[in-house]
Amino acid sequence: MKATRLFDPLPRGQEHAADAPLSIHDLTVAYHRKPVLWDIDLDVPEGNLVGVIGPNGAGKSTLLKACIDSIPRASGDIRVYGRPYRQQRQRVAYVPQRESVDWDFPVSARDVVAMGTYGRIGWCRPVGRAQRQEAHEALEHVGIGHLADRQISQLSGGQQQRVFLARALAQKASLYLMDEPFAAVDAATERAIVDLLKELKQQGKTCVVVHHDLATVPSYFDRLILLNMRVVATGPVAEVFTNENLKKTYGGKLTLLTEAGQALVNTE
C-alpha cells in the first residue's frame, strides 16, 4: 500500500478510487477568467448510468469536454481508469450535441459511423471492408441500418442522434460521455437510446449522460450528478434526487421545481 501511495499522482493526496472509469479531482475551468466549473471533485463508479443535471450554463457540457481534454482547464486532475485521458483515448467515446457538426457535409450515415473506427485503423490506411461492416452493424444496433447510405442531412433529428450513438458504439469504448442525447428527439428514438443505455450497463460499461428532463431521471439513471458550477450533490438517484438538492441546484426556478416535485411524487 505504501508503495502505491508513493506514486500516487493526486496532488492533495485525497483518496480516490484507483481505477474508476472517471475520477475528477479539484477541477476548475474558466472561460475568459470567468469560472464555469469550480473545484469539481467526483468519482464515477464502474457499470453505472450516471445523469448530469443542472440549469443552463451550469457547466454540464463543459464538464464532459474537460474530460476529453477538449477545453483547457485552469487546474485539476482528471483520470480515466486511473490514467490521464490522452493515454486512454481508445476507452472513451464522446457523443457531442447534435448541433456541433455540419449535417450538410457530403457523407453518408455509414461514413460517419465508420469514423468511430478510425482510431483503430491507424494513420494513412484506408477504411476497409471490416470497418464498413462494423459501422453497418452499429447502425443496425440503433435501428437505422436501412438508412446507412443516406446523406446525413436527409435524416430526421432523432435519426441523426442515433448516427452519433452508433458512431460511439463503433468506437468500442468502455466509458461513454453523452451530451444531451435526448434533446429534441422523437419518442421512438428516446426509447431506443434508453434501451441502448441499459444494454451498455449490462455489458459493464459506464455512461455519463447530460440530461434535461427531470421527470425521467429516476427511471433512466442509477446515479446522479447535480451540477451548478460546483457539484451540489452526487450519489445514487434514490439518495440525492431530493427536493432540497434540486432547489440548491436550480435556485428559485419554480416551474422546474414543480416539474421535479411531480417526478418525485411519481417515484414514491
Partner 1 sequence: MTWYPLDTWIVVVGALCAMACALPGCYLVLRQMSLMGDAISHAVLPGLALAFIFTGSRASVEMFVGAAATGVLTALLTQWIHRWGHVERGASLGIVFTTLFALGLLLIVQAADYVDLDPHCVLHGALELTPLDVVWDLAWGGTILEIPRAALVLAGVALFNALCIGLFYKEFKVTAFDPQLATALGIHAGAMHYLLMIMVAVTTVAAFEAVGSIIVIAMLIVPAATAYLLTDRLGVMLGLSVGVGVWGAVLGHVMAITVPTWFGFRDTSTAGMIAVALGLIFMVAVVCAPRHGLWARRRLRKAPHHVEKPAIRV
Residues in touch with partner 1 (CB under 8 A): 68-70, 89, 92, 94, 96, 100-102, 105-108, 111-112, 115, 118-119, 121, 123-124, 126-127, 151, 154, 156-159, 167, 184-187, 189-190
Cα separations (Å) of 58 from 55, 174, 231?
5, 26, 10
Asked whether the beta carbons of 197 and 220 are under 8 A apart, the reply is yes
Sheet of 49-53: strand order equals 92-95, 175-179, 206-210, 49-53, 223-228, 230-236
Name the minimum Å distance from CB 59 to partner 1: 17
Name the minimum Å distance from CB 1 to partner 1: 34
Based on CB atoms, which residue is closest to partner 1, 70 or 262? 70
Residue 262: enclosing H or E segment and its boundaries? helix 254-267
Based on CB atoms, which residue is closest to partner 1, 44 or 168? 168
Name the minimum Å distance from CB 89 to partner 1: 5
Name the minimum Å distance from CB 117 to partner 1: 9
Tell me which amino acid residue 16 is. Answer: H
Tell me which amino acid residue 216 is. Answer: T
Based on CB atoms, which residue is closest to partner 1, 90 or 243? 90
Assigned C-alpha cell, 210: 447530460
